[in-house]
């Protein structure tokens, strides 16, 4: 649908590329507000559609329903008179307890699934035909282009649960924190800063299918070049997400901690700014000993593209190369629960980086 929207609403260059992409792409995705698959089937069997197909000698057949249990998407196979195949997916657009703030456009074996944040619609008329389109096309495309959706590893999560002592499975950060976390992350996105999961939060998403039980905080990266000077001042007296502390400098090792208040509880959310290390890696800063301001660099493979993952029904960005980032952050034993894991585990790409010197501690470690 991104090609279709650019074909209609883009500037001249975007329209040209969008229309070309719409013609050449293998799969075209659409959504529908029809809430029932049986009703959708009746619409697709409508006499007018069959007449159009008969007049053109093209063939439209049902390829599959997705997912197999409780399908929400119908995939159609379109075979033209020239005998080339294209696929059209139509997804029932709705929220549910499973996906609370996003829609999931299933791709099956033909294409990747796309997760897109919920959006309002408006009516667009073309050649007398009314089409529902996203009300804010630019925002829709922003999320769609980063929307490749990855599931957590349910098999690994079950294995970890079965091999972890029962007393160590009690989660310190409640699932309800994900709702307010999504609100905090949206605030960053509105400033042009794009947070994506990092450290224990990324590991927990993939390995535990949730927050790691023993962790007390939530971790996200933002690329350092996206930092907005002074934006954090608006959070100093914020009632829901007050800024707790700021560590480092814009140019080196910047980190901020926000209190995420939810249901009479709170979880600290750490934002680590990510800097270029070399052509293939990036780094974020870490204070390993606050008394002597001892620093470390956490090295990860370059995050060149963002995708999406689910935490307790809410959609967040993740690195598309999430497994490489997880291994760099957590070492060789990343797939095993370890409440005593430190900064320098075997295989972990964390290295000492000297100390902050010749500078007042109050300048690089500020509490609010």
Average pLDDT, integer, range 84-112? 89
Q: How many CB atoms lie within 10 A of CB 112?
A: 14
Residue 151's Cβ-side half-sphere holds a number of Cα atoms within 13 Å equal to: 10
Cβ within 8 Å of residue 209, ≥6 positions away: 152, 153, 154, 157
Give me 222's structure tokens: 């933002």
What pLDDT, on a 0 to 100 scale, did the predictor assign at position 47? 56
Residue 90 exposed, middle or buried by CB count within 10 Å (0-12, 13-18, 19+): buried
Residue linked to tokens 């329209």: 15
Q: Is the pLDDT assigned to residue 88 strictly greater than 70?
A: yes
- Per-residue pLDDT tens digits for 169-211: 888 999 999 999 999 999 999 999 999 999 999 999 999 999 9
- Per-residue pLDDT tens digits for 10-58: 787 877 787 777 677 888 888 888 888 888 888 777 655 565 556 566 7
Distance between CA atoms of residues 202 and 80, nearest Å:
44
What pLDDT, on a 0 to 100 scale, did the predictor assign at position 125? 84
Model-level pTM greater than 0.85?
yes
Whether 215 and 329 have beta carbons less than 8 Å apart is answered as no
Q: What percent of the chain has pLDDT over 70?
A: 95
Average pLDDT, integer, range 313-324? 98
Q: Is the pLDDT assigned to residue 87 strictly greater than 80?
A: yes
Q: Mean pLDDT, the chain, as a whole number? A: 89
What pLDDT, on a 0 to 100 scale, did the predictor assign at position 46? 64
For CA atoms 46, 49, 53, 56, the dihedral sign is positive
Cis peptide before 5 (omega within 30 of 0): no
Q: What percent of the chain has pLDDT over 90?
A: 57
Whether 75 and 105 have beta carbons less than 8 Å apart is answered as no
Q: Is the pLDDT assigned to residue 60 strictly greater than 60?
A: yes
- Per-residue pLDDT tens digits for 215-254: 999 999 999 999 999 999 999 999 999 999 999 999 999 9
What pLDDT, on a 0 to 100 scale, did the predictor assign at position 51? 58
What pLDDT, on a 0 to 100 scale, did the predictor assign at position 56? 62
- Per-residue pLDDT tens digits for 134-174: 999 999 999 999 999 999 999 999 999 999 888 888 889 99
Whether 345 and 327 have beta carbons less than 8 Å apart is answered as no
């Amino acid at each position: 649908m991104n090609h279709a929207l650019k074909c209609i609403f883009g500037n001249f260059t975007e329209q040209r590329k969008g229309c070309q992409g719409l013609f050449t792409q293998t799969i075209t995705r659409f959504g529908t507000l029809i809430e029932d698959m049986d009703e959708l089937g009746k619409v697709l069997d409508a006499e007018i559609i069959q007449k159009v197909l008969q007049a053109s000698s093209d063939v439209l057949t049902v390829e599959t329903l997705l997912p197999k249990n409780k399908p929400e998407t119908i995939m159609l196979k379109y075979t033209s008179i020239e005998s080339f195949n294209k696929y059209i997916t139509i997804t029932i657009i709705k929220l549910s307890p499973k996906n609370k703030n996003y829609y999931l456009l299933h791709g099956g074996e033909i294409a990747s699934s796309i997760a897109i944040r919920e959006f309002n619609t408006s009516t667009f008329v073309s050649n007398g035909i009314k089409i529902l389109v996203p009300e804010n096309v630019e925002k829709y495309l922003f999320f769609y282009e980063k929307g490749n959706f990855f599931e957590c590893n349910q098999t690994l999560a079950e294995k970890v649960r079965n091999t972890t002592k029962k007393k160590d499975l009690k989660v310190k950060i409640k699932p309800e924190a994900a709702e307010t976390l999504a609100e905090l992350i949206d605030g960053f996105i509105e400033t042009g800063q794009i947070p994506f999961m990092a450290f224990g939060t990324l590991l927990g998403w993939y390995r535990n299918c949730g927050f790691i039980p023993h962790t007390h905080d939530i971790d996200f990266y933002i690329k350092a070049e996206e930092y907005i000077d002074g934006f954090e001042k608006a959070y100093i007296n914020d009632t829901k997400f007050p800024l707790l502390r700021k560590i480092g400098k814009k140019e080196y090792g910047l980190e901020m901690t926000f209190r995420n208040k939810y249901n009479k509880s709170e979880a600290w959310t750490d934002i680590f700014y990510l800097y270029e290390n070399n052509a293939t890696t990036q780094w974020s800063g870490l204070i390993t000993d606050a008394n002597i301001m001892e620093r470390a660099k956490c090295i990860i493979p370059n995050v060149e593209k963002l995708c999406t993952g689910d935490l307790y029904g809410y959609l967040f960005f993740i690195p598309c190369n999430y497994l490489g980032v997880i291994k760099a952050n957590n070492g060789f034993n990343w797939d095993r629960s370890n409440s005593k894991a430190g900064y320098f585990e075997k295989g972990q790409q964390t290295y000492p980086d000297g100390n902050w010197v010749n500078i007042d501690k109050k300048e690089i470690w500020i509490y609010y």
